[in-house]
Amino acid sequence: MWIWADVAPEGVVSSAFELLTKARAIGSDVGAVALGPGAAGAADRLGEHGAARVYTSDDERLAEPTSRVAAHTLAALVAEHSPGIVLFPSSYRGRDVAGRLQAITGSTLMANAVDLPSIDRARAEILGGTTIVEVDLAGPSPHLVLMRPRSFEPEAVGGTAEVVTVDIVEPPGRATVVQVVEQTEAAADGPSLDGAKVVLAGGRGLGGPDGFRLLEELGDAIGDTAIGASRAAVDAGWVPYAMQIGQTGSTVKPEVYLAAGISGALQHAVGMKGSRRIVAITKDPEAPILKLADLGVVGDLFQVLPSLTEEVRRRTGR
Amino acid sequence: MDIAVLVKWVPEPQGTPTLGPDHLLVREGADGALDPGDEYGLERALQLVERDGGEVTVVSMGPEVAVAAVQRGLAMGAGRGVLVTDDALRGADTLVSARVLAATIGPIGADLVVAAVESTDGYTGTLPITVAELLGLPSVTFATSVDIVDGSHLRAERQTAAGAEVVSSPLPTLVTVTTGVAEPRYPSLKGVMAAKSKPLDRPSLADLGLGADDVRPSQTVASVEAAPVKAGGRVIEAGPETAAEIADLLAEARVI
Amino acid sequence: MVLAWRRASPRIATLRAARPDDPERGGPTAERAARELVEVIGQRKLFQRLVPGMMHAAIFWGFVVLLPTIAEAATAIVDPHAHLPLIGDTAWFGWLVDVFAVAVLVGVVTAVAIRKVQRPDRFRGSHLEEADRILLMITAIVISLLLWQAMRIALGLTGAEGPVSGWLGDLVDGASTGALEAAERGLVWAHLLLVLAFLVYLPGSKHLHIVTAAPNVWLRKSGPGGRLEPLRIDLEAPEEDLRLGAAVATDLTKKQTLDLFSCTECGRCQDVCPAWTTGKPLSPKLLVMDLRDHVAAGTAGQTGEIELQPLVPNAVTDEVVWDCVTCGACVRECPVDIEHVDTIVDLRRNLVMAESRFPSEAGALLRGVEGPGENPWGQPASARMDWAEGLDVRVLAPGDAAPDVLFWVGCAGAFDERAREATRSTVRLLQAAGVDVAVLGQRESCTGDPARRMGHEYLFQTLAEGNVSTLNDAGVTTIVASCAHCFNTLANEYPDYGGTYEVVHHSEFLARLVQEGGLHPSRDSVAVTYHDACYLGRHNGNYDAPRDVLGATTGEIAEMPRNRERSFCCGAGGARFWMEEGGDARINETRYEEAASTGADVVATACPFCLVMLDDASSAAGAGPEVADVATLLARSTLPKG
């Protein structure tokens, strides 16, 4: 069993630890593949979380945006060592590498898995989270499985991994270089409404543009959060139209949608009711959004939001 | 500037699709439409050929009802449509679909292949890049803006784990786009009428050079069960425990 | 005369080039004649404003009466002794002429006072200098007439003497015969030349209305104002035969073109337009004037060739076309029966169907209606009965026997949280009264009203045909609708598509039930005001039924200043519910303020769109009366809690 470890210059991404923990639950002798700048330092931590072996390369070319180099390098490793399964995180890089690898090896690929009963079986939630399916995986090795984030709790078990440095493999055919022309850090705008795990949205109840600062602080504490708004707040000129969620505006399906000071009229609801979990904070006990929410709080958001931010900071240590 | 756009017909984009007795998504007989997510890429492609010349071809694989998705693409302004439909493709997994689509796109000789980041019903998000690999194309995924420069390069801004980056890729290449990359046009009635006389090819698997082995899925659904119904929402009065309760929910959702 | 003809012929050519109307449009001859009598002769619509009405009536009636004197003057040019047969020489005719001549002058003075002293806002954008010229000419014509009569009287040429002309005659009596004869000749020529100059000026000015107004009234659409004339679209037809609305001047119908030539720039429409009065660029008057100028410019100096530039944006901007809420207040006010709304919808039809050019937010509406759910909210059809949770409502399945009453829920009533309360109340009341009622459930699709008002006539046609098919197959004969828009479309527009049913608005049905004893409300004594929905009131003449319902439950209604046929729209009509709003103020908030100013605690509505718009306004205002449907209010005082 292998796992793909996402690496960044700062080090290995924690999704790798979750995957390792799961892989170890199924079999021993778990290998980890860490390809890309920053992989060098990863071996120790991967070993701590249960990797028996780490295949690694720091080569700069692995960072190129198409993931062709990474995929072909991984394909060569797979051909040499024949793992039965490779687990990937559902990250930008993970999906790209897994997708390309599938074409090279002709393996089956299962996405959005939440659990792995065995090497040959994966479990996923489909149809907007209403249905759970168990899927038999067949076809040539390795099976490729993309796991949803935070499906497992990572567990450090101590241990060291054998480190195997590998050479990269260039993809066949003509060399097409996709260049990165410029890069921007997430700091400025944060994840877009589209991909954020958590969306915090503010409405008329925030009383003005300043109210959105409360949401921003909460977002910083939670992480991977985007800030949205109801039409009322956009119409009032407090925030730009790009943040509008609703029938006119964006539709979002985050893991958690928190609505503060939003009544939840149909116009807005159509844009967010696909969210996995909905929290609503409003002072109006009759607000329609309370019917949509998994957890509805009737109260003063100017009290609830700061105290929630504090509580989240306390728990996550941010 | 020839652009191939991958489109999918999805059942009940607004509602909840259902699984049939064979554990496969019910597609025939269900009301559906062109996947709303595909319209963004299609719109951008149409804008590019309107500006630089060339033609957009919409390509789809699905049951017979999926022709509606192709027709919508034609009504919006695509020049040609291709639909691959065959009983053997029922229950196709992403690899089979990618093989079929790659075999369909190959002959078109497109400079650019456009797809949505993920489909509304399956949301695996890997199919387009598998197609890219099968065609030997570079790829740019999660593009939030797309442009063609000098007729030879794709310039795109894309989302990454770290934030965002601007990349330049020589053509031909494949790009997957997020919603919002363009505002999709609403096809005019004239467009709908014109669509009827545009070429719509229906190649068979044999035409595409695919045999039974190529289209055999390697995944089967073993069991289906309803997810535990979310305990109906609770409504609480704000109090000293509220922050903890919400934080518990966040933790349970694994966002903190 | 030749000059006049030359100036008139481009207008005539334009009319010739315009599209023909449905010949049945104006209704049966008797109805049209009655309209002419009441509106033209009786000046009814002008009297909607008293003083300007009197002013115009004086000038108009005066003009009618004085018309024969022009004939007399024309013959007198040749023979100074000429008279009109029978009446020309009589004293009573002289009196008549004098009285009406004075009336005209009084009218002119009043008009000047209104224009120069009062300066009402409705004239903003109008060509005031033109009006001044007309008034001047009228004055000159009348005065020259009186003076000429005076000369004739002094010379003994006529016995038609009235108080004024007689008095003037006495004034000049002392002058020499030669001088009088010269003056008489001079004045008759002056009078005639003024009239002819007037005639020449006419075709190029807004005063052309004196010729076009009567025909315009004759051609006005008969039947409820809410009905739009169908535009049949057959996609299989050859493309040249396809009509998709009004793109260029020749796409306008003869009536629509005549509309443009009839406008007097009075601005009454402008004054009542909800868009204009809340700071949007749309003014019905300016729209008509701009279209007229565009159409006229295309024919200036040419005979027959019409300049074919697109009307939007060359004559009017896109924004102006989309600002309209189709409330019909303008049509109601217009003294010459211009039908602004029909023209605006025709412009929209072209923009949407041929050019796909419309506010992008409205795309969601079209996609939703066109998509599997067939409703503007894009909700799945499976959710259409969610409102009925906890209620035992019969859903009509295919093959079931038709119910006595089919309750048409409508999309707003099914999907909007607030509107659902009215839906539930209505059904509960009907059931309490023992009515055999059923709903179509998932088989209901949008009636197509928003698509049609937006201009997507083809989508409307598809929906109408589908719904008619469903209703006819089910054998439905009576429909009750709680939405004013659904009501209007089902009652007035579906017959054009083969669907004829007895359609009753829920307010009327409930009022009947109360009156016949099927429901027994208790008096709640709540201070209430009622907002007349445009599509129920102005477009369909139903003002009383909701008031009857309220009368039985809440008691006396504190009426708003603008009520009944003068009601001010909530702002949702014309598919604007789904569009962003600009301008200085919001239409719904403006109306809500008016409602609040009555001091009422509750604003009653009879349409879910009015309900949502006014409720939004109430949230924006933070405080103010509650907004509730008449059915909800009736249910509160009739049914046990639940």
In B, residues 148-187, which contact A (CB 8 Å cutoff)? 155, 158-170, 173, 178-180
Q: What mean pLDDT do residues B98-119 have?
A: 93
Q: At CB < 8 Å, which residues of chain B contact C?
A: 12-16, 30-33, 183-193
Tens-place pLDDT, residues B202-230: 999 999 999 888 898 888 888 888 876 65
Q: At CB < 8 Å, which residues of chain C contact B?
A: 233, 235, 239, 242, 244, 352-356, 358, 360, 363, 366-368, 371-373, 378-383, 458
User: For residue A145, what are the domain limits?
Assistant: 2-165
Clarify whether residues A140 and A237 are in a common domain: no
Clarify whether residues A157 and A238 are in a common domain: no
- Smallest Cα distance from B196 to chain A, Å: 31
Residues of A in contact with B215 (CB under 8 A): none
**What does the block give as tokens for A83?**
């793992």
Q: What is the pLDDT of residue A173?
A: 78
**What does the block give as tokens for C451?**
């698509």
- Smallest Cα distance from A31 to chain B, Å: 23
Q: What is the pLDDT of residue C255?
A: 95
Q: What is the pLDDT of residue C17?
A: 83
Residue with tokens 């007795």: B21
Dist CA A81 CA A50 (whole Å)? 19
Q: Quick one: which of C268, C250, C251 has its CA closest to C337?
A: C268
The answer to whether C451 and C459 are in contact (CB under 8 A) is yes
List of residues 6+ apart from C629 with CB closer than 8 A: C419, C421, C422, C425, C482, C604, C605, C606, C608, C611
- Smallest Cα distance from C429 to chain A, Å: 23
CA dist list (Å): C367 to B185, C360, C371, C468: 11, 11, 6, 21
Q: What's the CATH architecture for C239-354?
A: Orthogonal Bundle (1.10)
- Total beta-carbon pairs less than 8 A apart between chain A and chain B: 279
CA dist list (Å): A270 to A281, A294, C90, C173, C614: 18, 16, 80, 88, 21
The verdict on B15 touching A (C-beta cutoff 8 Å) is no
| A181 in a structural domain | no
- Smallest Cα distance from A72 to chain C, Å: 43
Give the best residue of B120, B186, B196 to mutate against chain C (max C CB count within 10 A): B186
Q: Quick one: which of A287, A288, A284, A277 has its CA closest to A299?
A: A284
CATH at residue B113: 3.40.50.620
Dist CA C432 CA C414 (whole Å)? 21
| A239 in a structural domain | yes
Clarify whether residues A236 and A87 are in a common domain: no
Q: Does the beta-carbon distance from B129 to A67 stay under 8 Å?
A: yes
**Predicted interface score ipTM higher than 0.90:** no
CATH class of C520-638: alpha beta
Taking each helix axis as running N to C, give the angle between helix C544-553 and helix C506-516, from 0 to 180 degrees, rounded to the nearest 10.
Answer: 50
User: Which chains sit next to C, with 3 or more Cβ pairs under 8 A?
Assistant: A, B
Clarify whether residues A160 and A205 are in a common domain: no
Give the best residue of C377, C417, C615, C619 to mutate against chain A (max A CB count within 10 A): C417
Q: Which residues pair with A184 in a beta bridge?
A: B164
| B156 in a structural domain | yes
Q: What is the pLDDT of residue C617?
A: 93
User: For residue B103, what are the domain limits?
Assistant: 2-215
pLDDT above 70: residue A248 = no
Clarify whether residues A43 and A128 are in a common domain: yes
Clarify whether residues A143 and A229 are in a common domain: no
pLDDT above 70: residue B196 = yes
pLDDT above 60: residue A8 = yes
- Smallest Cα distance from A291 to chain B, Å: 7
Cis (ω within 30 of 0) for the bond into C335? no
- φ/ψ of C558, rounded to 5, equals -85, 105
| B251 in a structural domain | no
Residue with tokens 């619509």: C45
Categorize the per-residue pLDDT at C351 as very low, low, confident or very high, splitting at 50, 70 and 90: very high
Tens-place pLDDT, residues A268-282: 887 887 788 999 999
Clarify whether residues A132 and A51 are in a common domain: yes
What single DSSP character describes residue C39? I
Clarify whether residues A151 and A223 are in a common domain: no
The verdict on A265 touching C (C-beta cutoff 8 Å) is yes
Dist CA C333 CA C46 (whole Å)? 8
User: Quick one: what percent of chain C has pLDDT higher than 70?
Assistant: 98
Q: What mean pLDDT do residues A57-77 have?
A: 93
| A286 in a structural domain | yes
- Chain B residue with minimum CA distance to C368: B14
- Smallest Cα distance from A265 to chain B, Å: 17
Clarify whether residues A233 and A294 are in a common domain: yes
Residues of C in contact with A268 (CB under 8 A): none
**What does the block give as tokens for C216?**
């315009």
User: Which chains sit next to B, with 3 or more Cβ pairs under 8 A?
Assistant: A, C
The answer to whether A2 and A52 are in contact (CB under 8 A) is no
Categorize the per-residue pLDDT at B182 as very low, low, confident or very high, splitting at 50, 70 and 90: confident
Q: DSSP states of C167-198 as a string?
A: HHHHHHTTS-HHHHHHHHHHHHHHHHHHHHHH
Q: Does the beta-carbon distance from C458 to B189 stay under 8 Å?
A: yes
Clarify whether residues A94 and A242 are in a common domain: no
Clarify whether residues A148 and A291 are in a common domain: no
What is the total count of domains within chain B?
1
Q: Quick one: which of C618, B233, B242 has its CA closest to A299?
A: B242
Among A124, A148, A165, where does a domain finish?
A165
The answer to whether C330 and C420 are in contact (CB under 8 A) is no
Q: What is the pLDDT of residue B30?
A: 64
Give the burial class of C490: count Cβ atoms within 10 A of its Cβ; 0-12 exposed, 13-18 middle, 19 or more buried: buried
Q: What mean pLDDT do residues A297-307 have?
A: 92
Tens-place pLDDT, residues C519-577: 999 887 889 999 999 999 999 999 999 999 999 988 789 999 999 999 999 999 999 99
- Smallest Cα distance from C361 to chain A, Å: 6
H or E stretch at B248 = helix B242-252
- Smallest Cα distance from A125 to chain B, Å: 8
Residue B86 CB neighbour total at 10 angstroms? 18
Q: Quick one: which of A238, A231, A199 has its CA closest to A216?
A: A199
The answer to whether A221 and A278 are in contact (CB under 8 A) is no
- In chain C, which segments carry CATH 3.40.50.10700? 520-638
CATH at residue A242: 3.40.50.1220
Residues of C in contact with B12 (CB under 8 A): 372, 380
Tens-place pLDDT, residues C114-171: 999 999 999 999 999 999 999 999 999 999 999 988 888 888 888 778 888 888 888 8
Q: What is the mean pLDDT of chain A?
A: 87
> Given B178, B243, B249, which is nearest A310 (Cβ)?
B243
What is the total count of domains within chain A?
2
Q: What is the pLDDT of residue B42?
A: 97
In A, residues 120-159, which contact B (CB 8 Å cutoff)? 121, 125, 127-140, 146, 149-151
Q: What is the pLDDT of residue B110?
A: 94
Residues of B in contact with A150 (CB under 8 A): 254-255
Q: Does the beta-carbon distance from C580 to A270 stay under 8 Å?
A: no
Residues of A in contact with B160 (CB under 8 A): 92, 183
pLDDT above 50: residue C301 = no
Q: Higher model confidence: residue C81 or residue A56?
A: A56
CATH class of C365-513: alpha beta
Tens-place pLDDT, residues A95-120: 999 999 999 999 999 988 889 998 89
Residues of B in contact with A222 (CB under 8 A): 250, 255-256
